[in-house]
């Protein structure tokens, strides 16, 4: 794979109004947001649950795509998780994602699918890449060790997309989102990403200690810097890419601003109403010291994020509380 990136190529409307789009991974954080967005804008969205179609199984995936013949495919299905999950289950993060990508992309080509959008992750870039990270930083240095298996799988997906473009002229593209959050996020402390984990930990600390006399201990030093994008802003970007973009190489999607984990934690603490202290366990890993994306390629297409971080966190917290209350009522 070459690290060079060709300029953004706006290409008119590449997805007709009302087109049939298969969203692989429609129940996940990303896939559900893209499904909502496409349906709201009049597209016909095809979905299958994991029980109906295991995307790791290439023959079944190819048969489904050949039968349905969608106009476009959005590959949002993936095995994802935070530092703990990536560190303890690297085999699954590597193999499951490779299987999903190989079966969906190859099956789409075999079925004559005209458009495909592959969604990767900002973790594909080197741990110490110059900031903000440009798309041409890909493969210019070592990866962050705590999630290298997942990152390598996603890099393979980019290469697969670019190979189909080179060899067959396929109108397939890749997008690399920054850290995402939003409705439908994973709040399981063993497998979640940092923001939903913080929301849950501060919420539960508030319930245990309404007077705020205790503390919440977080992994690492609190100094790494991260960028966060609401998943509805990502969905708008993905629709724009499907409609107008046919360039080579990945496209970064982020908000263009970052903050420290300690600043994020303070914001989440304030939103949840917890009044206790925050402490850090410096013996636990920090991960990449900074990960801010250069999003000029995406913004050159006319896209800008609209949801401010604090507002987004507040809406996610309210939605999660409401879901927890409904779950308790059902039980």
Residue corresponding to tokens 């409401």: 322
31 is in an annotated binding site: yes
Query: In 3-state terms, what secondary structure has residue 241?
Result: helix
Tokens of 219: 């992994």
Q: Which helix (H) or strand (E) holds 99?
A: helix 90-110
Spatial contact of 133 and 294, defined as CB atoms under 8 Å apart? yes
- Supply the DSSP symbol for 193: -
97 is in an annotated binding site: no
Q: Is the peptide bond before 38 cis (omega within 30 degrees of 0)?
A: no
Active site residue 150: yes
25 is in an annotated binding site: yes
225 is in an annotated binding site: no
Q: Is the peptide bond before 132 cis (omega within 30 degrees of 0)?
A: yes
What whole-number distance in Å separates Cα of residue 20 and Cα of residue 257?
Answer: 35
121 is in an annotated binding site: yes
Query: In 3-state terms, what secondary structure has residue 92?
Result: helix
30 is in an annotated binding site: yes
What whole-number distance in Å separates Cα of residue 291 and Cα of residue 287?
Answer: 10
What whole-number distance in Å separates Cα of residue 143 and Cα of residue 287?
Answer: 10
What whole-number distance in Å separates Cα of residue 183 and Cα of residue 201?
Answer: 17
Catalytic residue among 43, 125, 150, 274: 150
169 is in an annotated binding site: no
201 is in an annotated binding site: yes
320 is in an annotated binding site: no
193 is in an annotated binding site: yes
Tokens of 39: 């349906």
177 is in an annotated binding site: yes
28 is in an annotated binding site: yes
230 is in an annotated binding site: no
Residue 99: count of CB within 10 angstroms of its CB: 18
178 is in an annotated binding site: yes
Residues designated catalytic: 150
Annotation: binding site? 25-31, 119-122, 154, 177-180, 193, 201, 219, 226, 286
Residue list for the binding site for substrate:
201, 219, 226, 286
- Residue list, annotated binding site for NADP(+): 25-31, 119-122, 154, 177-180, 193
């Amino acid at each position: 794979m070459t690290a060079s990136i060709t300029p953004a190529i706006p290409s008119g409307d590449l997805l007709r109004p009302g087109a049939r789009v298969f969203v692989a991974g429609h129940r996940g954080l990303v896939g559900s947001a893209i499904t909502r967005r496409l349906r709201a804008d009049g597209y016909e969205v095809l979905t299958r649950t994991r029980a109906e179609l295991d995307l790791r199984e290439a023959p079944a995936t190819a048969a489904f795509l050949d039968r349905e013949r969608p106009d476009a495919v959005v590959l949002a299905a993936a095995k994802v998780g935070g530092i703990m999950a990536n560190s303890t289950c690297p085999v699954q993060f590597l193999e499951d994602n490779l299987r999903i990508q190989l079966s969906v992309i190859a099956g789409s080509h075999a079925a004559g699918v005209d458009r495909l959008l592959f969604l990767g992750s900002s973790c594909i870039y080197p741990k110490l890449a110059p900031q903000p990270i440009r798309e041409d930083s890909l493969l210019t240095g070592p990866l962050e060790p705590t999630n290298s298996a997942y990152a390598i799988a996603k890099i393979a997906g980019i290469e697969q997309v670019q190979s189909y473009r080179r060899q067959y002229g396929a109108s397939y593209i890749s997008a690399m989102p920054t850290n995402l959050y939003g409705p439908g996020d994973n709040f399981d402390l063993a497998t979640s990403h940092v923001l939903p984990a913080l929301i849950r930990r501060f919420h539960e600390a508030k319930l245990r200690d309404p007077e705020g006399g205790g503390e919440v201990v977080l992994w690492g030093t609190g100094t790494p810097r991260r960028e966060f994008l609401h998943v509805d802003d990502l969905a708008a970007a993905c629709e724009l890419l499907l409609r107008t973009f046919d360039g080579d190489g990945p496209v970064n999607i982020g908000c263009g601003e970052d903050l420290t984990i300690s600043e994020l934690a303070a914001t989440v603490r304030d939103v949840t109403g917890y009044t206790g202290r925050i402490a850090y366990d410096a013996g636990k890993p920090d991960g990449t010291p900074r990960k801010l994306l250069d999003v000029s390629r995406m913004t050159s297409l006319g896209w800008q994020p609209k949801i401010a971080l604090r507002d987004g966190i507040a809406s996610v917290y309210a939605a999660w509380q409401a879901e927890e209350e409904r779950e308790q009522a059902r039980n």
